[in-house]
């Protein structure tokens, strides 16, 4: 992933005096000297002082966030990187800091943590500071890892709405020009069955809640399996499971059109970084129900 630019001298010039803000001069001097320790020591006072403007507090906070983030680009251990990302987020919400934590969780095989942090990164991309730029391939990588982490987690992970209450980017599949054709959810079933397992039921309910909230005219459910077993068997199983989900959604009160499409093993997803093709982890990611709505 790409990284934040360093805090530049041009950006420093944006600070403007705040009348009677007691720590103003000292904070400006600390930032100009790139003295993060001094700026951090003053920051709580700036927050508590009503005479200090929000713009000035944000300016100092941005410097401290970027100083902390810069640590993650050096040759330090993972614990130090994690602390630096968390410190940066304490001063400024930035999608790159959430994504960095997600990458650390992914590398440690903490898939629940990875899924949570990657989702926060996506939601921040949607409604956070739009001056925090992102390339489409960066967003695609985060989305792929977020969906894979959901599938690999041994615990159910929440699908949080955005800060304004809009649906999670995980459930809309679109942000800043990035858009997926179908949205995968780990709606899983008991072995060789059309009965949801415990995690599958939770994610089925998450889909129901999403559909009832956005009320689309129609939704297409795609059933997918891993490649284990015969092709015809997998196609039939994916059809039965997509139909079982459709029945559940209708019973929960969704009144729009539901179309089911069985794919079987024909759309095996590409394994994300760190996952071996054909491994059990890869197959676990492949076992899903996808949806697209309009």
Using the predicted structure, report yes or no on whether residue 108 has a pLDDT greater than 80. Answer: yes
Predicted confidence at residue 271, as pLDDT, reads 96
User: pLDDT by residue (tens digit) across 32-52?
Assistant: 999 999 999 999 999 999 999
Across all residues in the chain, what is the average pLDDT? 93
Does position 11 have pLDDT exceeding 80, yes or no?
no
Residue 2: per-residue pLDDT: 41
**Residue 68: predicted pLDDT:** 98
pLDDT for position 232? 96
What pLDDT is attached to residue 212?
Answer: 96
**Better-predicted residue by pLDDT, 3 or 167:** 167
> Can you give the pTM of this predicted structure?
0.91
Predicted pLDDT at 83: 98
Cα dihedral 147, 152, 157, 161, rounded to 10, equals 0
Closest CA to 123 of 146, 106, 150, 157: 146
Q: 82 pLDDT exceeds 80? A: yes
pLDDT grade, residue 19 (50/70/90)? low
Q: How many CA atoms lie within 13 A of 10 on its CB side?
A: 2
Q: Which of 51, 127, 42 is nearest to 93 (CA)?
A: 127
User: What residues have CB less than 8 Å from 30, skipping those under 6 apart?
Assistant: 36, 38, 39, 42
From the number of C-beta atoms within 10 Å of its C-beta (0-12, 13-18, 19+), residue 31 rates as buried
| Better-scored residue on pLDDT, 15 or 73 | 73
pLDDT value of residue 294: 86
The mean per-residue pLDDT over the stretch 107-134 comes to: 97
The pLDDT tens digits for 226-282 are 999 999 999 999 999 999 999 999 999 999 999 999 999 999 999 999 999 999 999
pLDDT-based confidence at residue 13 (cuts at 50, 70, 90): very low
Per-residue confidence (pLDDT) for residue 1, from 0 to 100: 44
C-alpha triplet 291, 292, 294: angle, nearest 5°: 145
Position of tokens 């068997």?
A: 233
Evaluate if residue 16 carries a pLDDT over 90: no
């Amino acid at each position: 992933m790409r990284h934040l630019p360093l805090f530049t001298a041009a950006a420093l010039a944006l600070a403007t005096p705040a009348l009677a803000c007691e720590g103003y001069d000292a904070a400006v001097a600390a930032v100009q000297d790139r003295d993060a320790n001094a700026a951090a020591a003053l920051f709580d006072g700036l927050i508590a002082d009503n005479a200090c403007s929000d713009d000035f507090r944000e300016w100092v906070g941005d410097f401290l966030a970027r100083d902390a983030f810069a640590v993650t680009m050096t040759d330090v251990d993972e614990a130090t990187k994690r602390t630096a990302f968390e410190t940066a987020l304490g001063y400024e919400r930035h999608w790159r800091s959430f994504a960095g934590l997600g990458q650390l969780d992914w590398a440690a095989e903490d898939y629940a943590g990875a899924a949570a942090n990657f989702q926060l990164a996506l939601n921040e991309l949607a409604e956070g500071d739009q001056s925090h730029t992102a390339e489409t391939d960066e967003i695609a990588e985060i989305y792929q890892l977020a969906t894979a982490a959901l599938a690999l987690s041994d615990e159910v992970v929440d699908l949080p709405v955005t800060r304004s209450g809009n649906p999670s980017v995980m459930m809309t599949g679109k942000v800043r020009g990035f858009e997926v054709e179908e949205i995968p959810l780990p709606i899983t079933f008991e072995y060789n069955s059309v009965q949801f397992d415990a995690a599958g039921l939770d994610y089925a309910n998450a889909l129901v809640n999403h559909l009832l909230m956005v009320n689309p005219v129609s939704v297409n459910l795609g059933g997918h399996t891993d490649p284990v077993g015969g092709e015809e068997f997998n196609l039939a199983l994916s059809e039965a499971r997509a139909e079982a989900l459709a029945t559940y959604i209708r019973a929960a009160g969704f009144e729009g059109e539901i179309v089911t499409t069985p794919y079987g093993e024909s759309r095996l997803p590409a394994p994300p970084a760190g996952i071996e093709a054909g491994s059990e982890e890869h197959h676990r990611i492949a076992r899903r129900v996808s949806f697209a709505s309009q």
